[in-house]
């Protein structure tokens, strides 16, 4: 089967040319077109291999170092969608900030190159079957994305970048130790490891998984190693915040998902690995519940909200069964709504000139379009009924309840409720509190309108009616995590 | 046993002034100079013994008695580290305490004789000496304990017996801190500068400022015997006795002790003297290494 | 160098003088010299202020008022309380002329303990655990005499007071009535290691007073001699610093290299300290092409030796640990007390006469000024290291582009009458300031020398504050101030 | 012989860790970490049983000596020169105390290493426990130092621990991944170094106390 190799090579080539071309471009706006073009190309390619491979078994290629299966495909889709949307949004966003900032072509060139490298590395993370390669690519995302944070170069973003760099490097270092311990047996691909899992030393693998969970969990923003996340997400330029929240956290969780069946199979299904995820998931939820009410910065609020949702995904996977499917669905829902929320807040912050939520009032009247987008995305993030996050959260709660884990159920409800109340208060004040009169000139381009409308539509659609084919696809992907198909 | 004691004392008396000469020659080599003759200290001692002592009017009998006490107690300490293996040597339970307490006695008299002169410089030197030796003492005892732990006895002989080529890791972790202690106890760089003329920075030399003639000679001689003793202990740590015949071992020792002096001279040449504030840190590092050795000896990791 | 007709110098009233002095010193001017002089029986105060930014020198004068009830005694209101840089100058004025600075906080004699009725005890820190340590005037090494009194608490120094005057020779009084041919020899030994700096300053006074300009070749040779002196002394000090911390390699190599540089001076004039090179109106010696070639060869060898010997210092972590953060003088303190020379530049005050008040060859070309900002022993050593390298380059440049022509022009021996002249030279230790006043007969009625040590001794005291007493030798060496230059 | 060498290297690694914990001067720390890099590059030769072929021994050794002992210390040296870092930044835990903690950590890892599930994999418990102690000591340095360069060096200690573990217990990574790991490290340090110069330009200091404005 030569096809996947060809497609992946093409994909890599696209990004490599994408990284090289900006060197020859002078106009900043043109440099920013490139990420968009390569995202579209990547999107088309992934569509191609979806049609070729969506019904087949997992495909190994490049000497078994890469794999495409449903789980990987699903995540690739999320990566491509978010990057595409962010690529579109970016055009308007930087065009606006170009009017005021004194950034040189150098900044935009660097941004364009790093952005595409970042996307490529995320795709490699997801397609990798080799545990070492996963690690290398994950570490590379840290390195490449560090400078995306300080595109708006001021002291706070520099501080955020430093924390991101240091904490994530240490986290990834821990994951490295875990990776080595897993590879100690002499096998270093996920698929082989799963096949030979029963021959592995269960204690060793569990011990290694702790390192892996903490390590990649750091990058995923799971508590207690999440402290870089609010800083980096809030200080980065909005498109970067969107891909951090929407994609990078998922990708880090994705590696943990890859390890999960191996650990469980090695341990004879003892469920210890799941418990670790449950624990960190609840810790994250708790942290978010404590810190969200005291926020004043809009983007920090969204960042803590990411901690919450990553926690929820971890809880879903930790619960297993239907919870895993729900968690996968939650990945997409969260990415879409968080992306939209960041886009909206980015525009709002730009127009109001402040990130202090106490100073942003009367949004619905002053910026109707972005206001609506903001309202919808915030409501979705809170888990309000007609939107899709409600469905995924509901499924997770249901899993906990039907599984008889009432304590977990109670804790989950308590945490989400606390977050719901404080976020609702913030959202309502921003949207409807009497503010200064007069509309703001926030332009909304055609592309922006399209993003808003499509995202809202998908969020609503999945909330009201989940296509059975899609759900079936998700269930099959979840089976991989559960240890069924590989 | 008497023979061995006599030999130890004789070797210490005769050979010890050589070490200072070797150190100075080494330093001169690194500094690109010719340097004073290796036997310079012998000449100095000879000269000083022929001179009369001038004694400050403010000094009491302590000042006059101190040189003799310092000299004899330092010399007495040497008998516990026999020069020739194989022959019976004085050895009893916890004799290492006596050894270091004899050195302590000489230090005590050095300090009070310095204070006795009433000079402000010598007072400062005495207080520094007291402070730093208090820091060096625990390190010494930890290294001895490490060796005793391996040797399974409680005397110095047992301590040296315990070391073998098997336990080379312990040997390193004992010899290095002991070497640092040696530099501190014998007023070498980086702890003290034996060549300086700056009263305000000296430790050991400043305490001898008021001594002259035979008294000064005794003090200098005692200092070189102390250096000899410490070098000999280091050689004994580094060269486990079991590997050679007594004769060969003795020969090797005679070569190795000057080698320690050469190493000391090298250290003095490549390092600057540390600020007095840093001296506790240096001794602290020595202590850390000594403790590492002690921990390793506790668990017998060597069997791994 | 600059001169003023005495009649053109306005005499301010005391309050005007005070206002002007404080105003100028607070707006960037530095006290180069402050002294009392009796011209035609009227005792006046002369304050020489140099403005480093503008490169100008000003002189303001006043006539102090008589003390009521005591017709013979004069007094003025002290300026020390407003600006600490006046402290030592006022004490000196009181000692030399008897004009009392009223309200001076510590009116102790500077050199002669018995000349005036005054406080002679040392400043004492009270407390039962405070002890005093007295060092000198006779020291253990071969150094000049000076007394140091430390107020210590354990090993920590709370205060250091220096006492001088053990080798005063009365140079300033000796010069009155000059110029005489023998005076140059006295000037050359004002501070023996700064012969060139002092003799240049003296010759410039004579030249400006007689309006003779030395030929360009002479100016170049003067600069070469001055920079050689700087190199030799800095190298010697770097070696001595290494010796003080027991780092023998650099110490012994630098001792030799210093000799090499002294021998280069000897190559020019036959004397290792450059005696006789500088003459009023030019130089006493010319550089033949052979000597020039020889100098160039020796310089490049000397530079290699110097760099390899001193690099050992910077490569040795124990040396750096010993130097860094030892004996720190902050930039603020350095500005306040008016420090000069490498010590000031090590504290971040980039003042250098060669750049700020250039004369001679320095008007057209000037080595790069080395500045460091920590103010510790390391910085003072580092500044010297940079200066030596710069100076060697500068000497090479001068040698290669040596102007042709004579090295001497006659006529500098007849100063104008009734004139005040100031000359500033950057010696290796810092600013050397000579001020001369001529009487109606064209002879010196007053001659004032300020050696850089005069400005800097108090800096050493500040460097020692809250430091270990065992750090004194290395701090002292990093300043390496002159005793006889102070005592005069 | 090989066994003894392993013990010696482990011991030197532990001592260099303690040295790093105890030194306040960033330049001294730099020497310590470069020395560690040299020690690491000897290790691949001592675990030949894990490797197939000479290339897979030499490549990691050469990479480690060029990257860990030469390139990274060089970057850091350059940045230290540029930022003129202040040494007297009081750490959260004093130097002597952190050395004692480091000593106890090292001793503890000797004691407990046999109880950990991977001890059976290694032929030299000495090396493994040295690596394990390095992980903790690296984290200790990162979390207690206020100087960003010291933090980078702590991170390097931590990375070195991973390298030692990798060499001593597993070897199945394809060569291209080992190269990738090293290049990642190099790039990461390079980015950190660039960040440090920016921090220095913006804050005029490389202390972390000015990097504490973002919290909550």
Over residues D202-211, the pLDDT tens digits come to 777 777 777 7
Which among B33, B202, A90, D208 has a CA at the least distance from the CA of C255?
A: B33
What pLDDT does D47 receive? Answer: 76
Tokens of residue A244, six digits:
């951090």
- In Å, how far are B1, B99, B156, B158, C116 from B93, measured between CA atoms? 17, 12, 9, 10, 73
Q: Within a 13 Å sphere around the CA of A283, how many CA atoms are in the beta-carbon half?
A: 16
Tokens of residue D72, six digits:
């990274």
Pick from A63, A153, A176, A228 the residue to mutate for testing the D interface (most D CBs within 10 Å).
A176
Q: How far is B200 from chain C (nearest CA, A)?
A: 5
Spatial distance between the Cα atoms of A261 and A485, rounded to a whole number of angstroms: 10
Touching subunits of B (3+ CB pairs, under 8 Å) are C, D
Q: Quick one: A63 exposed, middle or buried, by C-beta within 10 A (0-12, 13-18, 19+)?
A: exposed
Over residues A195-212, the pLDDT tens digits come to 888 888 888 899 999 999
SS (H, E, C) C311-326: HHHHHCHHHHHHHCCC
Contacts of A55 (CB under 8 A, 6+ apart): none
CB contact under 8 A, A146 and D191: yes
- B-D CB pairs within 8 A amount to 39
CB contact under 8 A, D18 and B288: yes
Spatial distance between the Cα atoms of A195 and A134, rounded to a whole number of angstroms: 19
CATH number for the region C2-102 comes to: 3.30.460.80
Q: Quick one: C27 exposed, middle or buried, by C-beta within 10 A (0-12, 13-18, 19+)?
A: exposed
Where along chain B do its domains lie? 2-303
CB contact under 8 A, B276 and C468: yes
CB contact under 8 A, B172 and D125: no
CB C200 within 8 A of CB C228: no
Over residues D59-91, the pLDDT tens digits come to 888 988 999 999 999 999 888 888 766 565 678
Q: If you write DSSP's letter for every residue of B112-180 in order, what string do you get? A: HHHHHTT-HHHHHHHHHHHHHHHHHHHHHHHHHHHHHHHHTSSSHHHHHHH--GGGHHHHHHHHHHHHH
What pLDDT does B303 receive? Answer: 47
Which among A120, A119, A136, A127 has a CA at the least distance from the CA of A71?
A: A127
Spatial distance between the Cα atoms of C306 and C321, rounded to a whole number of angstroms: 22
Q: Provide, as residue numbers in chain D, all residues whose Cβ is less than 8 Å from the Cβ of B168.
A: 4
Residue of D nearest to B171 (CA): D8
| D213 interface with A at CB cutoff 8 Å | yes
Which residues are C162's β-sheet partners? C148
| B292 interface with D at CB cutoff 8 Å | yes
Residue of C nearest to B282 (CA): C318
> Which residue do the tokens 């020969």 mark?
B251
Spatial distance between the Cα atoms of A7 and A198, rounded to a whole number of angstroms: 34
Q: Which CATH architecture has domain C172-450?
A: Orthogonal Bundle (1.10)
Spatial distance between the Cα atoms of D12 and D46, rounded to a whole number of angstroms: 15
Burial A103-118 (b: 16+ CB within 10 A, else e): beeebbbbbbbbbbbb
For chain B, how many residues are written? Answer: 304
Locate all alpha helices (DSSP H) within C245-376, ordered by sequence.
248-269, 289-315, 317-323, 331-337, 341-346, 353-356
CB contact under 8 A, D174 and A130: yes
CB A277 within 8 A of CB A238: no
What pLDDT does D50 receive? Answer: 58
Burial A297-310 (b: 16+ CB within 10 A, else e): bbbbbbbbbbbbbb
| Percentage above 90 pLDDT, chain D | 23
CB contact under 8 A, C469 and B200: yes
Spans of chain A below 50 pLDDT:
486
DSSP state of C488: -
Touching subunits of A (3+ CB pairs, under 8 Å) are D
- In Å, how far are A72, A314, B234 from A222, measured between CA atoms? 21, 8, 55
> Which residue do the tokens 């020379």 mark?
C341
Q: Provide, as residue numbers in chain C, all residues whose Cβ is less than 8 Å from the Cβ of D27.
A: 317, 320
Where along chain C do its domains lie? 2-102, 172-450
- C-D CB pairs within 8 A amount to 10
What pLDDT does C320 receive? Answer: 87
Contacts of D183 (CB under 8 A, 6+ apart): none
What pLDDT does B304 receive? Answer: 43
Pick from D7, D19, D122, D123 the residue to mutate for testing the B interface (most B CBs within 10 Å).
D7
Per-residue pLDDT of chain B (304 residues; tens, 9 = 90+): 788 888 889 999 999 999 999 999 999 999 888 889 999 999 999 999 999 999 888 888 999 999 999 999 999 999 988 877 777 778 888 888 999 999 999 999 999 999 998 888 888 899 999 999 999 999 999 999 998 888 878 888 888 887 877 788 888 889 999 999 999 999 898 888 888 888 888 889 889 988 999 999 999 999 999 999 999 999 988 887 776 788 888 888 888 999 999 999 999 998 888 888 888 888 998 999 999 888 888 865 544 4
Spans of chain C below 50 pLDDT:
none
CA A67 to chain centre: 20
Q: Provide, as residue numbers in chain A, all residues whose Cβ is less than 8 Å from the Cβ of D148.
A: 162
CB contact under 8 A, B289 and D15: yes
What pLDDT does B302 receive? Answer: 46
Residue of A nearest to D167 (CA): A180
Task: Give the Cβ contact number of residue A469 at 10 Å.
Answer: 8
- Helix and strand numbers (H, E) in chain A are 20, 2
Q: How far is C320 from chain B (nearest CA, A)?
A: 9
Residue of B nearest to C154 (CA): B124
What pLDDT does D183 receive? Answer: 85
Q: Within a 13 Å sphere around the CA of D96, how many CA atoms are in the beta-carbon half?
A: 10
CB A477 within 8 A of CB A74: yes
| Residues in C lying within 8 Å of B, measured between beta carbons | 131-135, 140-141, 154-155, 242, 244-249, 251-253, 316, 318-319, 321-322, 326, 468-474
Does the ipTM exceed 0.90? no
What pLDDT does A142 receive? Answer: 92
């Amino acid at each position: 089967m030569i096809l996947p190799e060809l497609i992946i090579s093409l994909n890599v080539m696209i990004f490599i040319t994408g990284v090289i071309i900006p060197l020859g471009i002078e106009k900043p706006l043109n440099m920013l077109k490139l990420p968009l073009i390569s995202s579209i190309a990547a999107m088309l390619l992934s569509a191609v291999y979806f049609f070729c491979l969506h019904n087949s078994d997992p495909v190994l290629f490049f000497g078994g170092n890469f794999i495409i299966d449903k789980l990987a495909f699903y995540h690739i889709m999320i990566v491509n969608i978010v990057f595409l949307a962010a690529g579109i949004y970016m055009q308007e966003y930087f065009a606006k900030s170009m009017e005021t900032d004194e950034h040189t072509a150098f900044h935009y060139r660097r941004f364009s190159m790093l952005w595409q490298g970042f996307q490529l590395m995320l795709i490699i993370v997801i397609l990798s079957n080799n545990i070492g390669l996963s690690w290398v690519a994950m570490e590379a995302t840290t390195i490449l994305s560090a400078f995306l944070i300080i595109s708006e170069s001021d002291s706070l973003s520099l501080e955020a970048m430093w924390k991101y760099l240091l904490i994530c490097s240490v986290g990834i270092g821990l994951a490295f130790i875990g990776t080595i311990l897993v590879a100690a047996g002499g096998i270093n691909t996920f698929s082989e490891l799963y096949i030979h899992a029963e021959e592995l030393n269960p204690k060793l693998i569990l011990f290694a998984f702790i390192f892996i969970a903490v390590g990649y969990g750091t990058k995923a923003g799971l508590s207690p190693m999440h402290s870089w996340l609010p800083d980096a997400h809030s200080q980065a330029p909005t498109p970067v915040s969107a891909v951090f929240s929407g994609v990078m956290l998922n990708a880090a969780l994705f590696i943990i998902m890859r390890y999960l069946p191996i650990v469980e199979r090695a341990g004879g299904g003892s469920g210890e690995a799941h418990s670790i995820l449950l624990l960190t998931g609840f810790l994250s939820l708790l942290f978010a519940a404590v810190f969200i009410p005291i926020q004043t910065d809009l983007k920090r609020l969204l960042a803590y909200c990411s901690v919450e949702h990553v926690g929820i995904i971890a809880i879903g996977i930790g619960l297993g069964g239907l919870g895993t499917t729900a968690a996968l669905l939650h990945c997409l829902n969260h990415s879409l709504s968080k992306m939209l929320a960041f886009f909206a807040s980015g525009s709002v912050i730009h127009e109001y000139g402040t990130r202090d939520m106490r100073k942003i009032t009367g949004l619905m009247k002053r910026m109707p379009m972005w206001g609506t987008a903001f309202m919808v995305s915030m409501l979705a993030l809170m888990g309000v009924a007609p939107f899709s996050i409600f469905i995924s959260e509901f499924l997770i709660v249901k899993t906990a309840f039907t599984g008889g884990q009432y304590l977990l159920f109670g804790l989950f409800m308590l945490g989400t409720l606390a977050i719901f109340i404080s976020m609702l208060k913030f959202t309502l004040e921003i949207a409807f509190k009497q503010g200064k009169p007069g509309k703001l000139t926030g332009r909304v381009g055609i592309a922006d309108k399209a993003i808003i409308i499509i995202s809202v539509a998908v969020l609503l659609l999945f909330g009201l009616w989940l296509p059975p084919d899609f759900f079936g696809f998700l269930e099959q992907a979840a089976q991989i995590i559960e240890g069924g198909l590989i | 046993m008497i023979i061995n004691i006599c030999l130890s004392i004789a070797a210490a008396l005769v050979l010890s002034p050589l070490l200072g000469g070797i150190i100075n020659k080494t330093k001169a080599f690194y500094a690109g100079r010719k340097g004073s003759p290796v036997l310079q200290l012998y000449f100095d001692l000879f000269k000083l013994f022929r001179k009369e002592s001038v004694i400050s009017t403010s000094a009491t009998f302590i000042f006059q008695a101190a040189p003799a006490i310092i000299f004899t107690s330092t010399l007495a300490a040497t008998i516990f580290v026999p020069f020739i293996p194989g022959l019976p040597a004085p050895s009893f339970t916890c004799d290492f305490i006596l050894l270091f307490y004899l050195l302590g006695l000489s230090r005590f008299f050095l300090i009070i004789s310095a204070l006795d002169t009433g000079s402000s410089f010598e007072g400062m030197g005495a207080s520094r000496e007291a402070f730093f030796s208090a820091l060096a003492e625990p390190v010494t005892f930890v290294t001895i304990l490490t060796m005793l732990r391996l040797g399974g006895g409680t005397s110095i002989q047992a301590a040296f017996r315990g070391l073998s080529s098997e336990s080379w890791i312990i040997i390193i972790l004992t010899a290095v801190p002991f070497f640092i202690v040696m530099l501190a106890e014998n007023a070498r760089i980086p702890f003290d500068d034996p060549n300086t003329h700056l009263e305000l920075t000296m430790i050991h030399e400043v305490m001898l400022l008021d001594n002259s003639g035979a008294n000064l000679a005794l003090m200098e001689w005692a200092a070189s015997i102390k250096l000899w003793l410490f070098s000999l202990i280091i050689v004994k740590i580094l060269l486990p006795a079991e590997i050679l015949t007594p004769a060969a071992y003795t020969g090797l020792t005679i070569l190795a002790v000057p080698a320690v002096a050469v190493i000391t001279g090298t250290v003095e040449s490549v390092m600057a003297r540390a600020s007095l504030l840093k001296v506790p840190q240096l001794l602290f590092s020595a202590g850390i290494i000594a403790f590492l050795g002690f921990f390793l000896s506790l668990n017998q990791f060597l069997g791994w | 160098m600059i001169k003023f007709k005495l009649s053109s110098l306005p005499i301010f009233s005391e309050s005007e003088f005070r206002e002007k002095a404080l105003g100028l010193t607070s707006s960037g001017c530095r006290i180069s010299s402050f002294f009392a002089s009796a011209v035609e029986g009227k005792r006046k105060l002369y304050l020489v202020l140099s403005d480093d930014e503008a490169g100008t020198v000003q002189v303001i004068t006043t006539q102090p008022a008589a003390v009521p009830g005591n017709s013979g005694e004069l007094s003025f209101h002290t300026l020390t309380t407003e600006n600490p840089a006046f402290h030592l100058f006022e004490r000196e004025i009181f000692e030399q002329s008897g004009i009392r600075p009223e309200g001076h906080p510590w009116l102790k004699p500077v050199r002669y303990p018995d000349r005036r009725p005054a406080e002679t005890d040392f400043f004492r820190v009270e407390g039962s655990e405070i002890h005093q340590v007295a060092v000198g005037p006779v020291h253990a090494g071969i150094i000049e005499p000076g007394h140091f009194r430390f107020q210590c608490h354990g090993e920590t120094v709370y205060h250091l007071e220096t006492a001088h005057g053990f080798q005063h020779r009365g140079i300033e009084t000796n010069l009155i009535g000059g110029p005489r041919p023998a005076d140059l020899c006295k000037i050359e030994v004002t501070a023996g290691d700064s012969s060139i700096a002092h003799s240049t300053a003296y010759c410039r006074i004579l030249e400006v007073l007689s309006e003779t300009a030395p030929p360009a070749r002479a100016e170049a040779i003067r600069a070469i001699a001055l920079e050689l002196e700087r190199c030799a002394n800095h190298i010697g000090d770097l070696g001595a610093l290494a010796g003080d911390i027991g780092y023998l390699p650099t110490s012994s190599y630098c001792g030799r290299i210093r000799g090499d540089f002294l021998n280069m001076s000897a190559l020019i004039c036959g004397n290792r300290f450059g005696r006789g090179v500088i003459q009023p109106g030019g130089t006493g010696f010319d550089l033949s092409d052979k000597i020039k070639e020889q100098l160039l060869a020796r310089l490049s060898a000397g530079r290699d030796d110097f760099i390899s010997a001193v690099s050992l210092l910077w490569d040795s972590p124990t040396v750096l640990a010993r130097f860094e953060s030892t004996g720190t003088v902050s930039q603020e303190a350095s500005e306040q007390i008016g420090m000069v020379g490498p010590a000031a530049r090590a504290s971040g005050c980039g003042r250098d006469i060669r750049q700020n008040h250039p004369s001679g060859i320095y008007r057209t070309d000037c080595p790069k000024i080395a500045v460091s900002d920590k103010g510790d022993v390391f910085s003072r050593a580092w500044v010297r290291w940079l200066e030596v390298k710069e100076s060697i380059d500068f000497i090479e440049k001068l040698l290669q582009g040596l102007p042709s022509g004579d090295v001497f022009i006659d006529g500098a021996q007849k100063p104008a009458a009734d004139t005040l002249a100031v000359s500033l030279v950057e010696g290796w230790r810092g600013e050397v300031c000579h001020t001369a006043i001529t009487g109606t007969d064209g002879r010196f009625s007053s001659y004032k020398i300020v050696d850089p040590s005069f400005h800097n001794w108090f800096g050493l005291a500040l460097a020692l504050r809250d430091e270990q007493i065992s750090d004194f030798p290395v701090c002292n060496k990093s300043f390496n101030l002159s005793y006889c230059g102070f005592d005069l | 012989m090989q066994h003894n060498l392993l013990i010696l290297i482990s011991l030197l690694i532990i001592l260099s860790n303690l040295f790093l914990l105890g030194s306040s001067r960033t330049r001294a720390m730099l020497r310590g970490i470069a020395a560690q890099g040299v020690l690491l590059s000897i290790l691949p030769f001592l675990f030949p049983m894990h490797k197939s072929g000479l290339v897979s021994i030499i490549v990691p050794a050469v990479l480690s000596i060029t990257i860990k002992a030469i390139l990274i210390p060089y970057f850091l040296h350059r940045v230290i020169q540029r930022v003129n870092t202040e040494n007297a930044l009081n750490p959260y835990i004093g130097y002597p105390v952190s050395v004692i903690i480091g000593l106890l950590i090292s001793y503890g890892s000797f004691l407990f290493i046999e109880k950990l599930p991977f001890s059976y994999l290694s032929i030299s418990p000495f090396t493994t426990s040295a690596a394990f102690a390095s992980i903790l000591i690296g984290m200790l340095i990162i979390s207690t130092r206020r100087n960003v360069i010291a933090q980078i060096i702590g991170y390097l200690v931590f990375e070195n621990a991973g390298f030692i573990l990798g060499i001593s217990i597993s070897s199945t990574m394809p060569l291209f991944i080992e190269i990738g790991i090293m290049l990642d490290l190099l790039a990461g340090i390079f980015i950190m170094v660039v960040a440090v110069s920016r921090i220095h330009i913006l804050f005029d200091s490389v202390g972390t106390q000015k990097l504490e404005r973002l919290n909550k």
